[in-house]
Amino acid sequence: MPTAKPNRLLIVDGHAYAYRAFYAIRELSSPAGVPTNAIYGFIKMLGKLQLQLAPSHAVVVWDGGLSSERTMEHPGYKAQRPPMPDSLGQQIHQINEYLSAAGIISVCREGVEADDWIAAFAAKASESMPAVVASSDKDFMQLVSPHVGLANPNDKSEKVWTTDDVVAKSGVVPEQIVDWLSLIGDSVDNIPGVPGVGPKTATDLLKQFGTADAIYPRLEEVKSERLRENLTACKEVVLRNQRLIRLKPAELPVDLDDVEIRPPNSERLRVHYAEWGFKTMLAQLDGASMTQGALL
């Protein structure tokens, strides 16, 4: 008898991959002239992840808007981000239609940031199975542990990041990532850091003091007068940044059993592929169906 494959959860940052697909393939439309570039790219990238990681469970997590708690803390939080392009927004629903037909669950709830649900799924899965978070967002380095890896699509090696890879990237361990980002800031999320503190300086400070909080009772040990002044002036900014950047696992909308990958619905996929004009995917689906029929 074939050996059952071990359980593994793949957690996909939905909007991150949709945007990546949208900009990777500039022009692609269905026979009816409807944009399909993000749909096609998303399907291809998700398929590559499944082939590479062979997950038994998978969930695609979508942003439901900004956390009211974070925007109250910092009104400028992610405020500089432009609105989603209309032609991408039109395709998100179709991507979810594909996921449903492919047997993969997706989740979204208004007011819940994807990052917090991703953290919750990773924490829950680590109790019973390894998990891999698929995203290029550096915030997720804080989740990396012996039970949680990170698949960064910007990493050409395509390996799953471990603690060693986080250290190689940042100079600090995953438990220090929140403080590291709190010191340097995060321009992607419109979070300013301490003036004059870049990645290397932040790494050096955390190697010396261990945590950002531990710096302040020992400020006299910071050799640079300018750096001491900046750290002193930005103490409240650093503390606020910690609250903004630290992921807050939200209550999960589904149980882990619910995100086990189900057999795909070939008929629904066939209808979608034909509608979108994905001839190669349609041919591959028909070929797989013929092979399966021959084996029965």
Query: Is residue 294 in some structural domain?
Result: no
pLDDT digits (tens, 9 = 90+) for 110-131: 989 999 999 999 999 999 999 9
**Residue 62 and residue 23 share a domain:** yes
Query: Is residue 205 in some structural domain?
Result: yes
Q: Residue 278, SS3?
A: coil
Check if the beta carbon of residue 12 is closer than 8 Å to that of residue 59.
yes
What is the distance between the alpha carbons of residues 122 and 144, in angstroms, rounded to a whole number?
Answer: 9
Number of domains making up the chain: 2
What CATH number is associated with residue 200? 1.10.150.20
**Residue 211 and residue 119 share a domain:** no
Q: pTM of the predicted model, to two decimals?
A: 0.93
**Residue 179 and residue 40 share a domain:** no
**Residue 114 and residue 222 share a domain:** no
pLDDT in the model for residue 292: 46
Print burial letters for 28-65: b (CB count within 10 Å at least 16), e (below 16).
eebeeeebbbbbbbbbebbeebeeebebbbbbbbbbbe
**Residue 257 and residue 214 share a domain:** no
**Residue 185 and residue 115 share a domain:** no
**Residue 257 and residue 240 share a domain:** no
User: Average per-residue pLDDT in the chain?
Assistant: 93
Mean of the pLDDT values across residues 188-214?
97
AA identity, residue 13: D
Mean of the pLDDT values across residues 257-286?
95
